[in-house]
Each structure stands twice: as structure tokens, then as C-alpha cells.
A and B are shown apart, each in its own frame.
Chain A
Amino acid sequence: MTANIKKQEDSMSTVTPTRAPHSDVPTGHKEEGRVGAGLFDPKQLLKSLPDAVRKLDPRVMVKSPVMFVVLVGSVLTTVFSFKDPGDWFGWAISAWLWLTVVFANLAEAVAEGRGKAQADTLRKAKTDTVARRLSKDGKGEEQVPGTELTIGDLVVCEAGDIIPGDGDVVEGVASVDESAITGESAPVIRESGGDRSAVTGGTKVLSDRIVIKITTKPGETFIDRMISLVEGAARQKTPNEIALNILLASLTIVFLLAVATLPPFADYAGTHLTMVVLVALLVCLIPTTIGALLSAIGIAGMDRLVQRNVLAMSGRAVEAAGDVSTLLLDKTGTITLGNRQASEFVPVTGTTEAEVADAAQLSSLADETPEGRSIVVLAKEKYGLRERHQGELAHAEWIAFTAQTRMSGVDVDGRKVRKGAAGSVIAWVREQGGEVSGDADILSNRISEAGGTPLLVAVEDTDGARILGVIHLKDVVKEGMRERFDELRRMGIKTVMITGDNPLTAKAIADEAGVDDFLAEATPEDKMALIKREQAGGKLVAMTGDGTNDAPALAQADVGVAMNTGTSAAKEAGNMVDLDSNPTKLIEIVEIGKQLLITRGALTTFSIANDVAKYFAIIPALFAVVYPGLDRLNIMDLSSPDSAILSAVIFNALIIIALVPLALRGVQYRPMSADKMLRRNLGIYGIGGLIAPFIGIKIIDLLISLIPGIG
């Protein structure tokens, strides 16, 4: 099983694209925080206006209890304004209340609008494909529309065909252009059997012929799901969003009670409160800011994932990502560069380093694997050995590297040179009647302990067969990984490296990379057991995977990110799919999840803190007439009662629009401890939320008082 995993790691590393991110996706710089920064164009507001007005439908509005109350309030004030048409104040309040509702809808419409464009592109990819279905007897072929395919159908695709539906390749190999989904223009190889058999409907075959077994019903294909996801049509409220909505609804009820019981109190005090004033007070007190932006925040969070080419199959998964406390990271491709590289040549007693280098290079010329190439390169760079080509040496018999022999080499001029895995080379030396020196064993062990992989170099010539030395193959840890893991640790996230390597090697790399823990010689069962163990302790686990044998673990993990290059079983089991198939992205996904929750919390706090200032504007305006002492609460020194109430309502509406960019972009996120983060966000959104409306309302009041005839 160990070897199997290794092979899988290798194959994964070869298909992992290392391209730059899309140019239109701002990845940001470290100083700014890695996640954040979705672009926001003010023009989008204007474009989404019709959608926003369409959303005024009460059946839609009722889903957000807070904004529904505002809608009812708007209707009420408008009706009362019609009863008293000469009162400019009633009209002004009504107008701003309507604007409050529209602004809220606008926020949602803008958030949805960003997904629409992507959905349109995807739709183009799936329109009108015609499938060439093989008849049941396997002989004939018929043309049917892609929408009429059923699960189990076999279809043929040749160069130039659009693949009509999701499925697995059952026959043949082809290069496929998946840019319609991934945005990646370089073609990928799809072949029958193994972990690269899955094809996606809407992608295009560039060469060769493949037979595909359809695995998904039309309408439920990957591309269909993707469209509904980016459009937000399939969006369901996430658990935390529901909980927050309940809290907001209960606050709304409390304030509704506070306002509804006010008229008898006021009547006793000797002043009559009009419906317009009561509604204005209510709207100012209920948490409209967060109520208006809540769904936009959720949509934008999903959208930020889509921009990074990650599809979350449920919003729940995005929230869970924020809560993850254990990350399982595959070593190869995530922590280390895909391939091991030669780093030194170590001679056994009686030979020189140069001799080893020469033999190593010679024997590696027939090894086209990345490891083999790195040996040739190291010999050239470190020992100045010119890279020879296979054609230069006449009468040479080349032995190419294969996974079975695990050895490569050359026979030339009566000299046989070999290099390869320790076991294979030792067996070869003995076969040739040579002696294996004890040195080789000691050196190999030393390299293993240091986390490297030893390859032996051996020669058979006139002096007989013998080991010359050892090549030290080293895993190269990606740059910046240690810092990243330190950050994760500060955020309270434990990292576990998963590898097929032996424990010694694994430990050395784990130490070098700075991960908290590692799982060596990992089998899928081990992975599953690890996940279950962590979950039993109450932890949430995230992992990536691509193979069919990863599927159970992907399903078990709280956040399972399947690579798009992986099998359809893996994609089915995970709750996210990374179209770039970049395992490092798991870290970004966690950050996006956190950012989503922080944005919600920050705007809720801001919204509630706002109430203090509004009270100081409205209460003296309502009651200073009967109790002049209450004018002392008018600390903003607002010009008139009408202007004070109107200013509060206007501020309440404008703050929604002002915060739309923040809701869409998300609160800036930097990895830091919970304590620091709370202090920072509480400072900005809590204290800021207390102070900002005092300033805002005062400014609006000043402007209103400039209008002649008012104030």
C-alpha cells in the first residue's frame, strides 16, 4: 500500500498545474492579508437597480425579518402621508424608508450579479451538445441530444467533440481542454482506469478518441451545479446565518415592543406620537444594517471562493472551513515541491566524490523522471561534468528507468553502471557476483534519517561489481511554508502532514517544514482513522484528496476539498472542488471561511452599536416638547426635532450603501490569535459603530438645516 500511495503522490505532482492565478483575481499581498479584495465597481450598483426593485415582492422580503419590518413601515408611512399630503416630513421619511429597503435589496442584487456573468459563460459551454451514443450491442452509433442521455450510456468523443455529460473514460486516452470550467488553457490527459478517468460535460476533446460512460443525469451535471452555485440560485441559509437571523429577529421584536408601547406612555406625558415618527424610531432601532447586508455577505463569501476557482457544494462547508482546527496536508505538492531532487553525492570508502558523480550522471541519462534529471543537473553544476547525450556514446546499451526495475543505467565499453533504489541495486551487485560494502548501508541510513531518499550507484568493471556511493535525494520544502504553518498555529489550527514516506523521512521533513504532526506510511485507512480520532475530540478536520481511495476520508472530513483532476468518486465525496487542483489552497479556503464569519460578526456589532447615537437624536426630538429637560440629551445639538429624526433615518439608509463594498469584499483578514483579532475588530466595529453615527447624523443634520424652510 505504501508504494501505491507514493505512486499516487508522484502522479499527482505531475499533473498539478503551477500556473499563475487568473489575472482578474486579485490575490493580494501579504501586507494586505491574503484573502480579501474582491473588486467592487460602483457601476454595479446602478446595473443591479432593476433587480433590487424586483425584490420588493413581499414574498421575497419576508425571508429577511428585519427588512420585512422596514418594508411594512414604508407602506405605513406612505399611507399616512397620503392622509396628510401637506406634511413634507412624512413624505421625506417615507421616501428614505423606501430607499432603505431598496438599498438592502441592492446589496443582495449586486452580490448575485457578480456570479451571473460567470454563469453565462458556463451556460455557453453546455448548450446544444450532440452525443454520439453507442447502441447497447456496442456496434452501432446514434446521434442524440446531450439532454437525453441517461446514466450508464456509453458515448464516443473524438478530437473536436464537446463531451456531452459527466462520466468516466472507459476506453482510450485523450487530451482534453477543460478551460471552460477551470479557466486553464493547457490541455489535460484523460485516460481509462486509474485516477484520471473523470471527464466533465462541456469540456472539449482535443485529440484521440475516448469512450465515456455517463455517470450523471442531465441537469445534475457538474457544470449545472456550478451554474446554480455561482448564480446563488441553490443558496440555502447556512446554520450560523440562521442563528444570526434568529437573534436579529428577536432584537427586532424587542424594539417593536419598545416602540409599540410608547404611545400610551407619551399620551400620559402629554404629547401625541404620529405613526410616521413611530415607524422612523423603529426602523432606526432594529438592526437594519446587518439585516440588509446579511445575505450579500453570504453570497459574496461563496463568490470569493469561486474567484479562487473553488466550488463549495454547500455554504455549510464554507462556515465549517472557518472552524477547522486540524488541516491534513499531503506532503507532495502542498508542503514540498512535487519532486525530490539530488542534493549531494556521497562516496563509499575507497572512491571519490567525482567518481560517484560521474557514474551517477552516466547512469541517469536514461532516466527521464524528474529525479533522474536532477542527478544529471547536479553533476553538471557541482562537478562541472558536461551533460552527455545518449547518442554521443557509441555501442552503449541504455537501460531506461522503469517502475518495475526501479533502476537505470548503461553498459558501455565493458563497463556497466547502474543507479537506483537501494534494494534493486544491491540485488544487481550480488547478481553480478560483487560484494556489498557495509558503508553503503550506513550511508543510506544516515540519508534516510535526515529525511532524504538514498539512491545507490554501482558499477561492474574489471574490478568486479561494487557499490560506488550514494546519491542523496531530498524533498524540497516550498518556500514560506514554515511561516504559513506558524500563522496557522497562532490561529489555533493544527497541521498534519500526510505522506507515504517512512517515519524517519517523514519526521525530518515535518521538522523542516514546521508542521505540528505527521502521518507516515499513510494508507487511506490510516487517514480515515486520524480524521475520526480528531473529530471524536470535537475538532473539525479539513483535507484534500483526489484518488478514489481518498473518497471515504473526503466524505468523513468536515471540509473535503477534491481536486478537479481527481476521480469522480473523490469529487462526489468532497464538499468542495478545487478547479486548479492546487492542494495548498486549503489554507486559503480556511481563511475565506473565517473572513465570512468575521464580516458577519463585525457588521452585526456595528449595527447594534449604532443604536446609541440614534437614541440621542430621536428621544430628545420626540419628548423635549413636554419635558424640556430631555433636551440635555441632544448632545449632537441637532437643529430641529424633524431634522433630527430625518437625519437618523437618512444615516440609517446611507450606511447600508456605504457598507456594501465591505460586505462584498469581506473584512480584512490577517492570521492572528483570537484575542488580538477580537480586540482589533471590537475596536474598529464596536467602538467605531458607537462613534460613527454621531458624526454622520450631525453632518446630515447640518446639510438638512441648510435647506430653506426646514429646520
Chain B
Amino acid sequence: MSSVLADVLMVIALVGALALVHRPFGDYMAAVFQSGKHLRVERWIYRSVGADPDAEMRWPAYLRGMLVFSAVSVLFLYLLMRVQDKLPLSLGFKPISPDQAFNTAASFVSNTNWQSYSGEVAMSHVTQTAGLAVQNFVSAAVGIAVAVALVRGFARSRTGDLGNFWADLVRCIVRILIPISVVAAVLLIAAGAIQNFGDIHTITTLTGDKQAISPGAVASQEAIKDLGTNGGGFFNANSAHPFENPNGFTNLLEIFLLLVIPFSLPRTFGKMVGNVKQGYAIVAAMGIIWFAGVIAVTWLEYAHPGTASQLAGGAMEGKEQRFGEGPSSVFAVSTTMTSTGSVNSFHDSFSGLSGGVLLLGMMLGEIAPGGTGSGLYGMLIMAIIAVFLAGLMVGRTPEYLGKKIGTREIKLAACYILVTPALVLIGAGVAMALPEGKDAMTNIGAHGFSEVLYAFTSASNNNGSAFAGFGANTDFFNTTLGLCMVLGRFLPMVFVLALAGSLAEQKSVPETAGTIRTEKPLFTGLLVGAIMIITGLTFFPALALGPLAEGLAS
């Protein structure tokens, strides 16, 4: 079987599995968030944090809950890393430095999972399991909760109530993330990933060198790392490490886990607003951009010029031999477009133009299909912008799902789309203007610039992957990137929740023949076009000086 055919079959299997699962899974998630019952374990959690899960919250209360919870998480994680040497199972690791601890805490709470450290030689068992792994669950659940609040904003009318943050958070963890993670972890262990709390093994290699082999609860963290679009690997090599991702099957399973929640949430959305077709239009826009990325990167990697590449059948530098061209490319596109940031190959080594596609995937705002929850609300914000333009063109003041897009709504949507471009461009601009930017590069020329641009794009969009080699563990980058992650995560959420509140208060406008049909392919096309033009064009000059300059040079 040729490798191209194998790649095609893999993509078919992946898309087939997603298509099969997204309906029942999306419906299940809708049922979870609309259910009136509490499980016993959930009641126990509500009691211990003193929350009333049945109290409806208006948007400021919902926001307050979310921010307080996240702030406490950052603080807890920071302290844990600072005192990890004094706790059991420390493996003898020193406490993490303040700037790196801040960066890492910000990174895991914001669902970014940017890692300026190597997990296996820095983080103790307690930090990994009680700190980082917990955040993998809760940060993903926070994103989904905010998305659900926005969906309720569309679904409800003449009420300011958006549901209960604590109930949404806890249910998401207990009923969605944990069960799937358990199943996925078992599958990963069965397929060869490791899971233990052992000590470091020191072995002697064939050439007589000593090598330290790190153990750990890898499979369990691997499952939620991908399912929650977190991306923080147990090992520095992330999913390229054979303990995390041993073979082609686990690779496919991990890609599936990356994509399954983001691609199923539009169904949940459709279900909750009472029109599943609206969900299909959103998922179609996500799918089109994702698929275009897959095709582009795979093709560019196969077509990479150069003697070595052509002999190897494609650009294989930085990729795992056990995966090959297609599975590496599909993983790379899926991880950048889902705000996951786990990697099974080094994005740094992709050809210039493919690197550009991966960058663009993040720059679009992580919406195709995007992170857990954040992908859905990001795409809905773009849909509001698209509706605003298109709605005018049918001669009505714009409305989406029966809600008027007026001054307040467009103001909040405009603020949302301003945040990440501002963080990326200002961050990269400052880094390039100061010596710190150039010092951190491991390459010269356009590629060196791409590294800096990639770092800020990844942090601001809460992706977390990096152009490998980039020396990010400095005070400057730990601090600036940490800020980008926090602001890039929570500022948009403020606008999303305010928007949700404003939508929920409106009464619903009934659909007529004069209403723009947002469930039709035409609107999906318009949405994709608006995303590419509005978000894509913002970064065109920067992309031209990085990946485009590099890719078009040859």
C-alpha cells in the first residue's frame, strides 16, 4: 500500500468516525447541559464548594464564578510548583522558578499548555497529577461552560439568565470529560502507552552512555491532554514520544480525541437552539477550513523540494518514521486548529509554507474547529460578524437565530475579534524591537522571525505548541507569553458572556422569507470567506515576512 493511499484511508477513517460520533455525542452533551438532575457525586461537590447548582445566573454572576474559579486555579498551581520539592513523590526535582511557575500556571489554566520546561525533568508526580492533570480537565470544562452560556443566550429570550456556572463546570467534568478520558486511557494503555508511578530508570545504551527513562501516569494524562484540547505533554517530546503515542493506531485515536468535542459541540448548539441545521452550518464552516488545511499541509510536505526530501518521499525532518507524512500533517493541522498544541512532529521542521498554514490555523482565532468550547464561541462570534454584513445585504437590520445584532452586540463582537490580533502583533512587535526576540531564536532570517511570531500566536490563541528550539524559558518570554495566554483566554470570555447576556434579554424575532437563512451552504461559504478575509488579512504582512518569505524563496 502506497503511503498516499494509507494517508487517504486514515483521513477517511478519521472523518468517518467523527461523522458517526458527533450526532449522538452532541445530543448527549446537550442533554447534560439541559438536564435538571444532579448525580450524587455532583451534589457532593456542590456542597463542598458551597454552590447552589439550581440558581440561575445572569452574565455578571456567571463571569464572576468563572473568573474566581480560574484565579484560584492559577494561584493553587503556582504554589504547588513553588513547593513541589517539599511534597511527596518529588522525584528530587527543585521548585520551579517564579517566572516559569507563573507562565506554567497561566498556561494550564488558560487551556494553552505552553510548556517552557521539559515535563520529565522538571515536574514532580504530584505537580503533574494533582496540578497539571486537574487543570487539563477543568480548563477544558471552563471553555465548554462559557460556550454553553452563549448558546443559551441564543436559545433563551427575555431573560438575563444564562444557567449556572458551577453546574455547567461540574457536569462537564463528571459526565463528559472523565468518562471519555477513562475509556480513552484504557485504549491507549492497551495500545502501548505507559501508566505508572515508578522511579526514574537509568539504563546503559548500546554505545555505553547512561540514559534516564522517566516513568509516569502517561496514558491518563494523554487522554485528557487531547480530549480537552490542552496539549501539555507528559514528556517534552509530547506525542512524538513513543510512551505517549506508540503507533499509528494511537496516533489516529489521539487525533480523534483532539477533534471530537470541538466538532460535536455545533450539534449541541443546534440541539439547544432548536434547529440542528444551524449546527450543521457551523460545523461545515469548521470542517471546510480544517480540511483545506489538511490538504494543503499534506500536499506541501509531500511536494517539498530537495534531494533528501524527494528520496525520503517527502519532508521527513522532524517527523516520526513510525507515523510518516500524512499522519504527521493531519496531526499538525488538527492540533494547531483546535488550540491543543500537542505535537507528534516538530512544526519547526515543516516546509515554510506548511508552517505558514499551521500559523494561520491558529491566527484564525482557533475556530476550525477550535478548542473545547472556545472553538464554538469563537465561530459564533465570526458568524455574528458575517451575519452583520450579509444581513444588511438582504435589506434588514441583521439578525442571527432570531436575535437582532444591534449596537451592543456588534460592539462586544468587535472587541472579541480585536483581542488576539492585538496580543499577537503587539507581543511579536515588542519582542522584535527588543534584543530578547532575536536572542531566543535558534534560526536566522525569515524562519527565526517565524519562531517569534509562532510563540506569540500560539500563546495568545491558547494553542501551546511551539516552533521547537525557540528558547522560551527566559524572564521576558515567560512573563510576556504568560500575560498573552491569560488575556487571550479571559478577555474574550468576558465579551462572550456579556454578549450572551445581551442576547438572552432580547425577544426572539420570528423567521420569515425575508430572513437570511443561516443554515444554508451560501451562508457557510460567506462565513468561511469572512473569516479568511477579516482575520487572515490582519496577519498577511507578518506572514509574508515569515513563512511566506521562507516558503517562496525556493
A residues with a Cβ closer than 8 A to B are 239-240, 242-244, 246-247, 249-251, 253-255, 257-262, 264-269, 281, 285, 319, 322-323, 325, 489-494, 536-539, 593-595, 597-598, 600-602, 604-605, 608-609, 611-612, 615, 619, 623, 626-630, 632-633, 669, 673-675, 677-679, 681-682, 685-686
Q: Does B198 contact A (CB under 8 A)?
A: no
In whole Å, how far is A586's beta carbon from the nearest beta carbon of chain B? 16
Closest to B414 in A: A250
28 sampled A-B residue pairs with Cβ under 8 A = A239-B407, A240-B392, A243-B409, A247-B414, A258-B421, A259-B541, A261-B425, A265-B449, A265-B542, A269-B449, A491-B514, A492-B514, A597-B392, A601-B392, A601-B393, A602-B393, A615-B541, A623-B545, A628-B553, A629-B550, A629-B553, A630-B552, A669-B395, A673-B513, A674-B517, A677-B394, A677-B395, A678-B393
In the complex, residue of chain B having the shortest beta-carbon distance to the beta carbon of A248: B414
Does B64 belong to the interface (CB within 8 Å)? Answer: no
Q: Are B513 and A491 in contact (CB under 8 A)?
A: yes
Residues in B with CB closer than 8 Å to A251 are 534
A539 to B302, CA, bound (A): 56
The answer to whether A604 touches B390, judged by C-beta atoms less than 8 angstroms apart, is no
Binds A, one of B28-36, B427-435, B480-488: B427-435
| B residues less than 8 Å from A632 (CB atoms) | 552
- Residue B305 CB within 8 A of the other chain: no
Given contacts A259-B541, A597-B396, A630-B548, contact A246 B522 (CB under 8 A): no
Inter-chain contacts of B415 with A (CB < 8 A): 250
Q: Does B418 contact A (CB under 8 A)?
A: yes
B66 interface hit (Cβ, 8 Å): no
Establish whether residues A258 and B542, one from each chain, have CB atoms under 8 Å apart when the complex forms: yes
Segment at the interface with A among B19-27, B273-281, B502-510: B502-510
Given contacts A491-B514, A615-B540, contact A598 B406 (CB under 8 A): no
Chain B residue at smallest Cβ distance from A604: B389
B247 within 8 A of A: no
B86 within 8 A of A: no
Cβ-neighbour of A243 out of B406, B438, B514, B545 (below 8 A): B406
**CB under 8 Å from chain A, chain B span 515-550:** 515-517, 520, 522-523, 526, 529, 533-534, 537-542, 544-545, 548-550
CB-CB under 8 A from A250, the residues of chain B are 414-415, 417-418
Q: Are A268 and B449 in contact (CB under 8 A)?
A: yes
Expressed in whole angstroms, the Cα–Cα distance for A539 and B399 within the complex equals 13
Cα–Cα distance between A494 and B515 once the two chains are bound (Å): 13
Judge whether B512 is part of the interface by a CB distance below 8 angstroms: yes
Instruction: Give chain B nearest CB distance to A7 CB in angstroms.
Output: 35
In the complex, what's the smallest C-beta–C-beta distance from A612 to chain B, in angstroms? 7
A609 close to B533 (CB less than 8 A)? yes
B79 interfacial contact with A, CB 8 Å: no
Say yes or no: B554 contacts A268, CB within 8 Å: no
Given contacts A253-B418, A630-B544, could you give 6 more A-B pairs where the C-beta distance is less than 8 Å? A239-B407, A260-B425, A261-B542, A538-B402, A627-B549, A678-B526
Min CB gap A319→B, angstroms: 6
B422 interfacial by beta-carbon distance below 8 Å: yes
List chain A residues, Cβ under 8 A from B426. Answer: 257, 261
- Residue of chain B at shortest CB distance from A603: B392
Which of A255, A258, A539, A619 is most buried by chain B, counting CB atoms within 10 A of its CB? A258
Q: Are B414 and A246 in contact (CB under 8 A)?
A: yes
Question: Which residues of chain B have C-beta atoms less than 8 A from A598's C-beta?
Answer: 392-395
Bound complex: CA A604 to CA B385 (Å): 12
Chain B residues contacting A537 (CB-CB under 8 Å) are: 510
Task: State the CA gap A262–B449 with chains docked (Å).
Answer: 12
A675's partner among B407, B417, B429, B517 (CB-CB below 8 A) is B517
- A residues within 8 A CB of B533? 608-609, 611-612
Q: Tell me the smallest distance from the CB of B550 to a CB of chain A, in Å.
A: 8
Residues of A within 8 Å of B554, CB to CB, are: 629
Main secondary structure of the interface of B (DSSP, over half): helix
Choose from A244, A265, A628 the contact partner of B428 (Cβ within 8 Å). A265
Q: How far is the CB of A299 from chain B (nearest CB, A)?
A: 17
* B174 to A: closest C-beta gap in Å: 37
| Cross-chain contact B395 with A538 (CB below 8 angstroms) | no
* Cβ–Cβ < 8 Å partners of A605 in chain B: 389-390, 393
- Give chain B residues whose Cβ lies under 8 Å from the Cβ of A491: 395, 513-514
Within the assembled complex, what's the spacing in Å between the Cα atoms of A322 and B512?
13
B446 interfacial contact with A, CB 8 Å: yes
A492 touches B418 (CB 8 A): no
Residues of chain A contacted by B394 (CB below 8 angstroms): 598, 601, 674, 677-678, 681
Q: Which residues of B contact A492 (CB under 8 A)?
A: 512-515
Give the contacting residue for A269; candidates B391, B405, B545; CB below 8 A: B545
Q: Which 3 A-B pairs have the closest CB atoms?
A: A601-B392, A492-B514, A594-B395
Q: Judge whether B47 is part of the interface by a CB distance below 8 angstroms.
A: no
A121 CA to B72 CA, complexed, in Å: 71
Q: In the complex, how many angstroms separate the beta carbon of A616 from the nearest chain B beta carbon? A: 10
Q: What are the residues of chain A within 8 A of B269 when measuring CB–CB? A: none
The interface residues of chain A lying within 8 Å CB-to-CB of B551 are 629
- B396 and A594 form a contact (CB under 8 A): yes
A575 to chain B, nearest CB (A): 16
Judge whether B38 is part of the interface by a CB distance below 8 angstroms: no
Rounded to whole Å, the gap between the CB of A617 and the closest CB of chain B is 12
B397 at the interface (CB under 8 A from A): yes
A489 in contact with B418 (CB, 8 Å): no
Which chain B residues lie closer than 8 Å to A259 at the CB level? 541
The answer to whether the Cβ of B322 comes within 8 Å of any Cβ in the partner chain is: no
Query: Most A CB atoms within 10 A — which of B388, B394, B406, B430?
Result: B394
Are A265 and B410 also in contact (CB < 8 A) when A254-B421, A619-B544, A627-B552 are? no
Cα separation A494 to B513 with both chains bound (whole Å): 10
- Contact A493:B514 (CB < 8 A) given known A319-B397, A323-B397, A539-B509: yes
B542 touches A686 (CB 8 A): no
**What CA separation (Å) do A678 and B388 show in the bound complex?**
12
Chain B residues contacting A240 (CB-CB under 8 Å) are 392, 397-398, 406
**Quick one: which of B417, B432, B510 contacts A265, CB cutoff 8 A?**
B432
List the A side residues contacting B513 at CB < 8 Å: 489-492, 673-674
Interface centre among B433, B517, B537 (most CB of A within 10 A): B537
In whole angstroms, what is the CA distance A438 to B433 when docked? Answer: 102
Do the beta carbons of A322 and B397 come within 8 Å of each other? Answer: yes
Contact assessment for A247 and B549 in the assembled complex, using a CB-CB cutoff below 8 Å:
no
Q: Is the CB of A633 within 8 A of B548?
A: yes
Tell me if A682 and B510 are in contact (CB < 8 A).
no
Cα-based distance from A249 to B410 in the complex (angstroms): 11
**What separation, in Å, do the CA atoms of A459 and B540 have in the docked complex?**
92
- Alpha-carbon gap, A491 to B539, bound state (A): 39
B448, chain A: closest CB distance, angstroms:
8
A628, B392: Cα distance in complex, Å: 42
Instruction: Give a binary string over B126-160; 1 marks a CB under 8 Å from any A CB, 0 the rest.
Output: 00000000000000000000000000000000000
Contact of A538 among B414, B430, B437, B509 (CB under 8 A): B509
From A242, A611, A628, give the contact of B537 (CB < 8 A). A611
A626, B522: Cα distance in complex, Å: 41
Which of B529, B544, B553: most chain A CB closer than 10 A? B544
The residues of A that contact B392 with a CB separation of less than 8 Å are: 240, 244, 597-598, 600-602, 604
Give CA–CA (A285, B516) in the complex, Å.
Answer: 28
A678 proximity list for chain B (CB < 8 A): 390, 393-394, 516, 522-523, 526
B431 CB to closest chain A CB (Å) equals 8
* Chain B proximity of A48: nearest CB distance (Å): 27
Contact of A258 among B425, B446, B515, B523 (CB under 8 A): B425
- In the complex, chain A residues whose CB is within 8 Å of the CB of B433: 264, 267
Determine whether the beta carbon of A595 is less than 8 Å from that of B545: no
| B520 contacts A247, C-beta separation under 8 Å | no
Q: Are the C-beta atoms of B395 and A597 separated by less than 8 Å? A: yes
Report the minimum CB–CB distance from A289 to chain B (whole Å). Answer: 14
Report Cα–Cα, A16/B391, bound state, in Å. 37
Q: Whose C-beta in chain B lies nearest to the C-beta of A261?
A: B429
B385, B395, B438: the one within 8 Å of A268 (CB): B438
CB pair B393 A264 closer than 8 Å = no
How far does the alpha carbon of A240 sit from the alpha carbon of B408 in the complex, in Å? 11
